[in-house]
Amino acid sequence: MTTVIKTQSQRAVVIGGSLAGLLTARVLSDHFAQVTLIERDPVTDRPEPRKGQPHTHHLHGLLAKGYTLMSRYFPDLPEALLAGGAIPGDMGTAMRWYTFGGYRRQYDSGLTGVFMSRPFLEGLIRQRVLARPNIHLLDQAPVERLLTTPDGQQVIGVEVSRSGQNVARHRLTADLVVDASGRGSASPKWLAALGYHQPQESVVKVGVGYATRLYRRQPGDLTGAEALMITPEGPREKRMGLIFPIEPDRWICTLGGWAGDHAPNDEAGFMAFAHSLPVPDLHHLLSRLEPLSDIRLHKFPANLRRHYEKLTRFPDGYLVLGDAVCSFNPVYGQGMTSAAMQAEVLDELLTGRASLAGLWRPFFKQIATVIDIPWQLAVGEDFRFRETEGRKAPGTDLINAYVARVHRATHHDPVVYGAFLKVMNLMAPPTSLFRPHLLWRVLRPGSQARSASQWQPVIQN
């Protein structure tokens, strides 16, 4: 029989100290007397990537929805970001974005975004999470296994190992354990060891790879925008180039592509890749900037989704969240925002709840709904490339043909661009792009015509 546990005055454990784990710990601190955040890597006070976070060396984007949620849980975060050198901007005017044969029309969208490095953002959030008196960090502590009741029906804690001169095992008991350990989550293996079915997986192979370099940033480097983006019109094009401003006074530039068409990490090859993009803006800019770092590579083989919502049997006292549930193609910038939205679901489910019994059922069902939209957006775009492998939902090609027209309409129509930005920032469902007034604007005669002004470069030689 499952024990009824009141969520107040009890203990929770979060596995994983990256952004998803930090947001989860913040949420749980409002519902539990004590929260222990467990991280396998050493954690310092400095905003730097950890060994288990190779992707944090690369360009990241925080969508408007994620920024709004994080600002709600950390009200002083916007001020701290600005004080540390992050660059705010309107999502419609700050980005100079070339795609599908033209530049999107810049306009005041009312959606606020912030440009900053991932380590800086994560460091600010970690400071605020660990400042809460009921949250404790246990780093250099890999979780070895789950602890359960004798019948295996309820998770009651974790066993961790502590590295040092003598490796020791410690047991931490908890009323709720949340796995936010990322794509390499051991939850499927742990569940199988306890006699549960592993979740079904959806895998969409994309073969994405990119190279990133930091540059010195000075006033006047880029005119008419804060950031520059060049993204491909698949399947004809596969390559992308992005450059964002980050703290302190630096540019972060990422070049990459789909289906194995990756940028190299040597100077000549990196610049040649930038020169191969369909417009010269980024290459012109890079040729005038002072490099501040080596060129780092990162590869992302496949979108991966674990369908915990389809399980009919699962232990009480245990949940899985973030990239441990769904890892998206990172070029779309959805991961941090998706994690924040899932943490918000957990917060809402725990509010006013007297028992943790059966919590996993509504939790996995509701986060599946949250994940559906970014998953559809990511894999839908990825299926523009013929080399993409995986299950393609019926109608994907037809939808992509229409969305291609949406992309082209954004070159001159701010109404269409505004609707697209809301979907991209996870503030509206993809179906909103099919509303009658937008259908008319996208499909009307002449909606795909480009203005000659769209071809003017934004980089001055």
Q: What is the pLDDT of residues 295-329, one digit of tens each?
A: 999 999 999 999 999 999 999 999 999 999 999 99
Computed over every residue of the chain, the mean pLDDT equals: 92
Q: What is the pTM of this model?
A: 0.93
> Which DSSP category does 331 fall into?
G
3-class DSSP state for residue 318?
strand
Q: Which pLDDT value is given to residue 244? A: 97
Report the alpha-carbon distance of residue 121 to residue 335 in Å, rounded.
14
Q: Residue 35: which residues within 8 A CB-CB, separation 6 or more?
A: 11, 12, 13, 14, 25, 28, 29, 134, 135, 136
C-alpha to C-alpha distance for 261 and 419, rounded to whole angstroms: 31
Query: C-alpha angle with apex 341: 225 to 423, nearest 5 degrees?
Result: 45
Instruction: Match 């994080």 to its residue by tokens.
Output: 70
- By DSSP bridging, strand 227-230 and strand 239-246 are antiparallel
> Is the pLDDT reported for residue 168 higher than 80?
no
State the pLDDT at residue 169: 85
Q: What percent of the chain has a predicted confidence (pLDDT) above 70?
A: 93
CA distance 133 to 338: 27
Helix (H) or strand (E) holding 72: helix 64-73
Percent of the chain with pLDDT over 90: 86
Evaluate whether 240 touches 58 at the Cβ level (below 8 Å).
Answer: no
Mean pLDDT, rounded, for 410-419: 96
Contact 311, 197 (CB under 8 A): yes
Q: What is the largest CA-CA distance in the chain?
A: 73
Exposed, middle or buried by CB within 10 Å (0-12, 13-18, 19+), for 30? Answer: middle
Separation between Cα atoms, residue 335 and residue 345, nearest integer Å: 16
Q: What is the mean pLDDT of residues 133-149?
A: 96
Q: Which residue has the higher pLDDT, 37 or 44?
A: 37
180 phi and psi, to 5 degrees? Answer: -125, 40
